[in-house]
Amino acid sequence: MKLKTLIRSTPRQAGFTLIELLVAIAIIGILGSLLMPTLSRAKLRANRVKCLNNLKSIGHTFKGFATDNNSRMPWLLTTRDANVLYQGDWTRSMHVEWLWSTPTIASSLGSPRSLLSPLDPDCSEQNGAVGIKIAGAVPKNAQSYAVHLGGDELRSAPTILAFTRNVHGSAPTGFNYPASGGVHTPQFSNLLSAQTLKGCEFVGAPKSHGPVNECPTAIAGLLTNDQGQMAMTDGSASQATTKDLHKAILTHAGTTGGITKLPNENVARPNRSGAVSHGPTS
C-alpha cells in the first residue's frame, strides 16, 4: 500500500509538446531571418575594409618600386630597364598577368592572395592554384584588381593607381610608353577617358548588366552597381562610387608633368575568363 502511494506521488518529467517545439523553431527562424541582413552587411563592411588593405598594399608596392627605379612605375620604365626586369620582354611591364613578376614586386606583395579581394569569390579557386608565392604570370582570372597605366606619382596631382576590376570603360587606345619607342596598345586593357565619362562606371553583377558571362569584370554581386574601391598615387585608398571615379578620371586628364608628356588613360584590367597569355600584342 505504501509503495503504491509513493508511485502515485512521484511527479511526471516535464517536456515539450510537439506544438511547443514547433513554436520554438518558428521563433528561432524568425529571429534568424531578422538578423541575417544585419550580419550580411557587417560581413560586407569587413570585407570591403580587407579589400582596401589589399589596394593599399598594391599601391605601396608600386610606390616602392618607383623609389627603386628613378620614380618610374613598371609601365613607365625605359626599354633597357623593362627588358632587364621583365625577362627580356618590356611589354610585360604593362601586362596585367605579368607586371607582378619582378622579384621586387613579387616579394613586396608576398603572396598571390594580395591580388584577391575577399569580395571576389569567383577568382578564389584560380588564385589558390597560383601557389603560395608569385613566380611568374598570375592568370587574369585569378586577380581582383585593375591597374591604371597612367599612374605616375610625379604628375601634378594624385591620380588613380589601382581599383577593383568591376569597372566598365571603352576600348583601349595606343600610347607612346617610354619603353615602346612608338605607339603600343596593351593586351587585356581598357580605357577610362575623360571624353567618354558616360561609359565609365562601377558595375555590379548581374542584375542590370545581363548574365555573369556577359559581364566578366563584375564581382559576384557583392559589389553592386556604383560600388568600387580605389587606390591613388599618393598612397591612399578609399571606397568609391561612379561619381568618385569620374572625378578621378577628370583630375587625371588635367594633370601635367610626370614621366610622359601626356596623361595615359589606359588601364590593365583582369577578368574571370581565359588562361595565361604568353605575351601581349602591339
Confidence of residue 31 (pLDDT cuts 50, 70, 90): confident
Alpha-carbon span 12 to 186, nearest angstrom: 81
For residues 116 and 123, the answer to whether their CB atoms sit within 8 Å is yes
Q: pLDDT tens for residues 63-86?
A: 999 999 999 999 999 999 999 999
Q: pLDDT tens for residues 134-190?
A: 999 999 999 999 999 999 999 999 999 999 999 989 999 999 999 998 999 998 889
Mean pLDDT of the chain: 85
Looking at residue 281, its pLDDT comes to 36
Identify the burial level of 54 via C-beta atoms within 10 angstroms of its C-beta, where 0-12 means exposed, 13-18 middle and 19 or more buried. buried
Higher-confidence position of 185 and 281: 185
Mean pLDDT of 226-252: 95
Tell me the domain boundaries of the chain: 42-268
Alpha-carbon span 149 to 147, nearest angstrom: 6
Q: pLDDT tens for residues 209-233?
A: 444 444 567 776 567 888 999 999 9
pTM of the model: 0.81
> What nine digits make up the cell of 273?
575568363
